[in-house]
Amino acid sequence: MSAEGEGNDGHCGVAGGQPMPRTNRGEAPVHGLRVTNDTTDHMARFDDAVARRLLRKLFDAAVSAADPMTVLAAHLPQRPRGRCVVVGAGKAAAAMAVAVERAWPDVELSGAVVTPYGYALKSERIHVREAAHPVPDQNSEAAAREMLALVANLGPDDLVLSLISGGGSSVMALPADGLTLADKQAVNRALLDSGLDIRSMNAVRRRLSGIKGGKLAAAAGPAQVVTLAISDIPGDDAAAIASGPTVPDPDAGSDLSALADCLREHIGETAYRILATPGVVIPVYSPVDVRLIATPGSALDAAAQVARAENLEVVMLGDDLEGESAMLGRMMAERARQPVSRPLLFLSGGETTVTLTGESAGRGGRNTEFALALALALAGDAGVWALAADTDGEDGASGGGAGATVAPDTLARAAAAGLDPAASLAGHDSGTFFAALDDLLVTGPTFTNVNDFRAILVVPNR
């Protein structure tokens, strides 16, 4: 399992990220949570129901902070003198398109966006397509070709409004010259199983694409191109969000032979040869204008504001943590088990990975894997609750879950149900484990994507 799903036999390593501190502010209290300065009362006021309700409220605040319906309009450019053609791809693409229609009721809009199956919304003027994720299908290729056709033959007074979010790499996929859709599918499957970090994955995707790495912007010719993006990338690198269809490829001239060798057993010879050969920088006519309308950092800030309103001390560990999910879970548990004198909340984001080993893997995603490793390392600590989830509502192959909740009694309930948490973790079957405990967080599509959200609540007097 990797940045966008879970698969088989991991074969490429990935370096872990380092926690980074952040800061923040406050919101309305959770019903049933009493604010007190008496440390002897902390355990009483944080019973299981209150803790779970608080963690869910924090997650909802983070997702709401990235809702296109509320954040997009402020980032729109001036209305164009000529045509306005809207294109886009990703899990938030449909919601972003509807937000543009609502913000510009008096502007003549045309165009299309593509989003994963199940993420479509009803729109009036911008066509919404659906395609496969995390492995592209024929509709992904058809959508990419339509986007290129939509931006062709525009003039300098025209505006191309590009709406980009995570998941766009798969749903808008055009094979580079010499490749077929089957080649692209094989590469995507290999990437999903590789354990590579998202930057390396997107370097491969850009090199093998006929639309990513600035090629969509180049096709727009003299028209102005403005990209509104929701970041799901650690560090908010615009070239990595959906593999940067409107941003020149920063790795165009780079040697990707190490990545080619890493994937060689799982991809075709043509794909290998293209990866091992330096690419060509694609000139873009208009200046690169990318506006980040929501980021992992802004989502965590919103959650921190809610937590501080509940009189919690918030420790920001960073919005860009990477590395193996299970390893990060164990690291977080070690930190959470340190003594505290008042209720404390650890918040973090980023994009971890799971490098699969063995012949098969069960159901799970990077967040459920993190949560299970955390639960095992906490060993039933009576003062720690946690929630780890993907803000898009879908945590890899978790079986419809966005993530999972960990409570002090997680391991005890697992034992009573005859579950083996260590075996579930080793078999990458964390989704099945939490589903059996009714601790999967199921939200359905959120129509946004600012990557992973992790909140660990620690109370004193355990």
At 87, list the tokens: 């294109």
Give the domain 39-66+296-458 fold.
Answer: glycerate kinase, domain 1 (3.40.1480)
What pLDDT shows up at residue 16? Answer: 39
Alpha carbon distance 206, 204 (integer Å): 6
- The tens place of each residue's pLDDT in the chain, 462 residues long, gives 433 443 333 456 443 344 333 333 333 344 333 333 444 455 556 799 999 999 999 999 999 999 999 999 999 999 999 999 999 999 999 999 999 999 999 999 999 999 999 999 999 999 999 999 999 999 999 999 999 999 999 999 999 999 999 999 999 999 999 999 999 999 999 998 887 888 899 899 999 999 999 999 999 989 999 999 999 998 899 999 999 999 999 999 888 999 999 999 899 999 999 999 888 878 777 788 999 999 999 999 999 999 999 999 999 999 999 999 999 999 999 999 999 999 999 999 998 988 877 666 788 899 999 999 999 999 999 999 999 999 999 998 767 899 999 999 999 999 999 999 999 999 999 999 999 999 999 999 999 999 999 999 999 865
Q: What local confidence, expressed as pLDDT, does residue 269 receive?
A: 94
Q: Where in the chain is the domain with CATH 3.40.50.10180?
A: 68-294
Per-residue pLDDT at 129: 98
For tokens 């994009």, name the residue: 351
| Model pLDDT, residue 461 | 67
Q: Provide the greatest CA pair distance for the chain.
A: 70
Report the predicted TM-score, pTM, of the whole model to 2 decimal places.
Answer: 0.88
CATH fourth-level superfamily of 68-294: Glycerate kinase, MOFRL-like N-terminal domain (3.40.50.10180)
- Which pLDDT score, from 0 to 100, does residue 114 have? 98
pLDDT value of residue 356: 77
Q: Please tell me the predicted confidence (pLDDT) of residue 46.
A: 79
- CB atoms under 10 Å from CB of 23, counted, come to 9
Residues of the chain with CATH 3.40.1480.10: 39-66+296-458
Q: What is the pLDDT of residue 359?
A: 60
Q: What pLDDT, on the 0 to 100 scale, is given for residue 197?
A: 83
